[in-house]
Amino acid sequence: MRVSSRVRLKTLVVGVPLVALAAVSCAGSESEGPPRDSTTTGGSPGTGTGTTGGTTSTGGTVTGTGGTTIPGNGGTGNTGTGGVEIPGGSGSGGAGGAPTPGNGGAPPANGGMAGMPPVGNGGTAGIGGSDPTGTGGDSAGMTGSGGTPPSTGNDPPGYWRSGDWHGCVWTGIDTVEGSTTKITPQDFTSQPAGGPYCVSGTVHGDYKSVSLLGFNLAEPPEGADCSYKPVDINAPGPPAVNIASSGAAGIAVNFAKKTGATLRIQIQGPNGAKDENDRWCYTITDPSGPILAKFSDFNTKCWDGTGNDYAGEPISAIVFTVPGVMGTQEQFDYCVQGFALGNSPDDAPEGGSSGPLTGRIGGPGSRDLDFQRVKVKAGGKSYIIQNNNWGNPDGTDQTIEYRDNSFTIVQATGAGPGAGVPASFPSIYIGANGDTQGGLFSTSSDDNLPKQISTIQSIQTKFKYNRAGGNYNAAYDVWFSASPPNAPYEDAISGFVMVWLYDPPQNQPIGSPLPEQANIAGRNWQVWVGQRGGSRANANAPVVSYVATQTLMEMQFDLLDFIKDATKHGIQPSWYLTDVFAGFEIWDGNGTQGLAVEEFTAVVQ
């Protein structure tokens, strides 16, 4: 008997420990924000949940449609400055939470320090309730208003000037015991002034770990030493400037990344080394610049927005940080090409192209790796790639490598838990399901979703993969909601459409086949119709699946043609399209090494 495919929900909450920073040149402590899921004593419980690919056997074992598993955001304990570390509580479905890293301190002007540990060299663990991401570090802006003034001739190596901003450019790393964090170069004393400022390396596999690239804003050249040096937690911070008085909406940044590692901006006041409320962070949600980081979006807890908003306080440094990921080394490689006060991304300095975005997600280790995601960009559109090893994460591991809007499975072990449930659903998608981390894992900025079916003009899409023949399908999973979602969602709220390009002999969609085939996009399809099933609120949601009568290795078509046909079988024209996935529901990972989505695009008009 063949078994059908659908998605099962999963909740994951993971704790976040402290972050400690190491030596920085000329300045530096940093805010290491908590991971997307964290729960600590004194914090709030995890709230986010995610969807995962699942199955329903013909005998009635139901799971959810092949979707995504997004770990939820748990509450986090505080690791701010001047506090006492609180042991983490446990989140629903996840490991016991640990306190999140505190905000890092600010380094001094003139050859200053990196801040003090534990978070961003400047934060100590806080005592409950809040979970500031360490945001220490002094930095200088790259392109202020009015152009770049000439050097007086006394600027030390590694010093930069841009408009009225000037000071050392510096780097820093965490001081976590046993940390393997590395950053290259350590300083910019041997490089020409003016940038771009490029760094690369790895961040240790711990939420307490971090790398930093900082710029001081008002550091006098006299006596400044911009070479890399150990932290001096007792040194004063550099002078501050009032960046908010310009009337600009925020900081326009041009940057280029070669990996999908999370990148944050931190602005820090002169007391940031000892006061967690004198530093604010902003998570960059776009894979490439230019972007505008609005002052109104900076928060002392930028990972969940529950801290204090930036209110125009004086700033002495701007820092770019890459936080660690529990259980794996996070590779980073990016360039800051320039930044300026501005009102739109167009106000950022011009910069070069970033090239392909590459990297690896997943692997053995923490539960977070099973559900790790990354945002990429192709053709001017954003996509999310997810590892989504949801079916049996305690018994299996999966690793995928990505390159822009493609990915390859490099390692997968074992099978699903049985009853037709897949082991995983590695996939790429557009949409905003699960815990989006404030847009970091959402394509809402350019996907035109959610959009009512009756108003959609077309959904031009392409799905190409490299081989068929194993115990997996190659399929689209399309989600609908009767109204635009007004809260986080982890599953299709009202209905599903699936398009199977490859149908493995052992498995089949939910429901039963209709007696007649459908001819859509110039091909014949076996149509299956059934209900989502299970005990959830959407148990009666219609599931309409189209299975190619002959295996297709590549297809470029208008997905709207399938959706229109599905309105004959329970999908309502008044509903809203929310998400479009493409990938593999894998029932047995053995033999899937090298299986790849070579290209996926989806443009909703």
Tell me the chain's radius of gyration from C-alpha atoms: 25
Whether the CB-CB separation of 587 and 412 falls below 8 Å is answered with no
Position 354 scores a pLDDT of 66
pLDDT tens figures, 111-124: 222 322 222 332 22
Distance CA 34, CA 299 (A): 13
How is residue 231 written in tokens?
Answer: 């932290």
**Pairing verdict, β 381-386 and 398-403:** unpaired
CA-closest candidate to residue 142, choices 79, 81, 188? 188
pLDDT of residue 68: 39
CA distances from 306 to 12, 35, 43, 131 (A): 20, 15, 11, 9
Cβ burial 316-352 (10 Å sphere, 16+ → b, else e): bbbbbbbbbbbbbbbbbbbbbbbbbbbeebebbbebe
Q: What pLDDT does residue 233 have?
A: 63
Q: What torsion do the CA atoms of 274, 278, 282, 283 make, to the nearest 10 degrees? A: 20
Cβ–Cβ < 8 Å for 378, 363: no
* DSSP-assigned states of every residue in 63-105: ---S----PPPPP-----TT-------B-TTSPBP-PPPPPPP
Q: pLDDT for 124-174, tens place per residue?
A: 222 222 233 333 333 333 333 333 445 556 899 999 998 899 999 999 998
pLDDT, tens digit, for every residue of 337-355? 999 999 999 999 887 666 7
Query: Is residue 118 reached through a cis peptide bond, with omega within 30 degrees of 0 on the bond before it?
Result: yes
> 3-state SS of the chain: helix, strand, coil percent to 5?
5, 35, 60
CB 428 within 8 A of CB 466: no
Alpha carbon distance 321, 431 (integer Å): 26
Give the model confidence (pLDDT) of 238-271 as tens digits: 899 999 888 999 999 999 999 999 999 999 988 8
Which pLDDT score, from 0 to 100, does residue 377 have? 92
Q: Which residue positions in the chain have pLDDT lower than 50?
A: 1-149
Name, in order, each residue with C-beta under 8 angstroms of 602's C-beta and a sequence gap of 6 or more: 381, 430, 459, 460, 461, 559, 580, 582
The C-alpha atoms of residue 601 and residue 17 are separated, in whole angstroms, by 37
Neighbours of 595 (CB within 10 A): 24
